[in-house]
Amino acid sequence: MDTTRSQGLFARAQVLMPGGVNSPVRAFKSVGGEPFFANRSEGAWLIDVDGNRYIDYIGSWGPMVVGHNHPAVLDAVMRTARDGLSFGVPNALEVTMAETITRLVPSCEMVRMVNSGTEATLSAIRLARGATGRSAIVKFEGCYHGHGDSFLVKAGSGALTLGVPTSPGVPAALADLTLTLPYNDFDAATALFVARGDTLAAMIIEPVVGNANCLPPRDGYLQHLRELCTHHGTLLIFDEVMTGFRVALGGAQARYGVVPELTTFGKIIGGGMPVGCYGGRRDLLSQIAPSGPIYQAGTLSGNPVAMAAGLAVLELVQAPGFHERLERQTHRLCDGLEDAARDAGVAFSTQRVGGMFGLFFNTGPVDTYDQAMACDRERFNRFFHAMLSRGVYLAPSAFEAGFISAAHDDAVIDATLDAARAAFRDAS
Catalytic residue chosen out of the listed positions 48, 56, 185, 239: 239
The question of whether 267 is a catalytic residue gets the answer: yes
The answer to whether 351 and 369 have CB atoms below 8 angstroms apart is no
Select from 232, 263, 277 the least CA-distant residue to 114. Answer: 277
Do 44 and 55 form a contact (C-beta atoms < 8 A)? yes
Catalytic annotation, pick one of 54, 57, 144, 393? 144
Task: Tell me the DSSP string of 99-115.
Answer: HHHHHH-TT-SEEEEES
Assess contact for 242 and 62: CB atoms under 8 A. yes
Beta-carbon count within 10 A of 38 CB:
16
Distance from C-alpha of 182 to C-alpha of 192, rounded to nearest angstrom = 11
Known active-site residue 144: yes
Torsion of CA 12, 16, 18, 20, to 10 degrees: -20
Question: Does the annotation mark 239 as catalytic?
Answer: yes
Helix H, strand E, coil C: the string for 263-316 is EEECHHHHECECCEEEEECHHHHCCECCCCCECCCCCCCCCHHHHHHHHHHHHH
> For residue 283, which amino acid is it?
D
- Cα 57 to Cα 145: distance, rounded to the nearest angstrom: 21
Alpha helices in 296-376 (DSSP H): 304-317, 322-344, 369-373
Catalytic residue among 267, 278, 369, 393: 267
Contact 356, 242 (CB under 8 A): yes
Residues that are catalytic: 144, 239, 267
